[in-house]
């Protein structure tokens, strides 16, 4: 008579538990990256829409202002008025361009929260 033992399933070893924990932490961090990317995408789409709307309305108002000033000064200083408006628009455009460049240069890192979590995880495993 042979007695066959059913295969015993051993409890997970410490290495297996550590690897499972590491992969679970990694999965959580990847989910966090995905959430941050989604939030950033939604924010950028909203900002882009509002920016384009503001730009379109500003252009319409500037065209109307230019026509109004040109009509007002048509008989006396039409070229000087149009030249002054052109210089004013150019100065404002340069100021806006410099401001946009500084905003892009000083933008925060996209994954600050995720990187902070990775640093905490690294410090935990030390």
Q: Which of 20-24, 48-52, 57-61, 111-115 has the lowest mean pLDDT?
A: 111-115
CB 114 within 8 A of CB 32: yes
Calpha distance 113→32 (Å, rounded): 8
Calpha distance 121→126 (Å, rounded): 9
pLDDT confidence of residue 74: 85
What share of the chain has pLDDT > 90, as a percent?
A: 1
Q: What is the CA radius of gyration of the chain?
A: 31
pTM of the predicted model as reported, rounded to 2 decimal places: 0.49
- A 10 A CB-CB count for 114 gives 19
pLDDT confidence of residue 45: 87
Q: Is the pLDDT of residue 10 over 70?
A: no
Calpha distance 13→61 (Å, rounded): 72
Q: Is the pLDDT of residue 3 over 80?
A: no
Query: Dihedral (C-alpha) 53, 58, 63, 69: value to the nearest 10 degrees?
Result: 160
pLDDT confidence of residue 1: 52
Residues contacting residue 115 through CB under 8 Å, at least 6 positions apart: 109
Region of residue 85 (left: phi > 0; alpha: psi -120 to 50; beta: else): alpha
Place of tokens 């995880």: 121
pLDDT confidence of residue 126: 67
- pLDDT tens-place string over residues 29-85: 888 888 888 888 888 888 888 888 888 888 898 888 888 888 888 888 888 888 888
CB 112 within 8 A of CB 39: no
């Amino acid at each position: 008579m042979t007695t066959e033992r059913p295969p015993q399933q051993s409890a997970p070893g410490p290495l297996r538990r550590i690897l499972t924990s590491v992969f679970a932490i990694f999965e959580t961090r990847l989910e966090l990256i995905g959430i941050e990317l989604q939030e950033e995408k939604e924010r950028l789409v909203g900002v882009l829409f509002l920016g384009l709307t503001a730009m379109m309305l500003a252009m319409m108002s500037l065209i109307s202002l230019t026509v109004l000033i040109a009509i007002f000064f048509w008989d006396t200083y039409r070229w000087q008025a149009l030249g002054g408006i052109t210089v004013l628009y150019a100065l404002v455009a340069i100021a806006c361009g410099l401001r946009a460049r500084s905003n892009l240069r000083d933008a925060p890192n996209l994954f600050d929260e995720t990187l902070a979590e990775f640093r905490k995880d690294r410090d935990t495993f030390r």
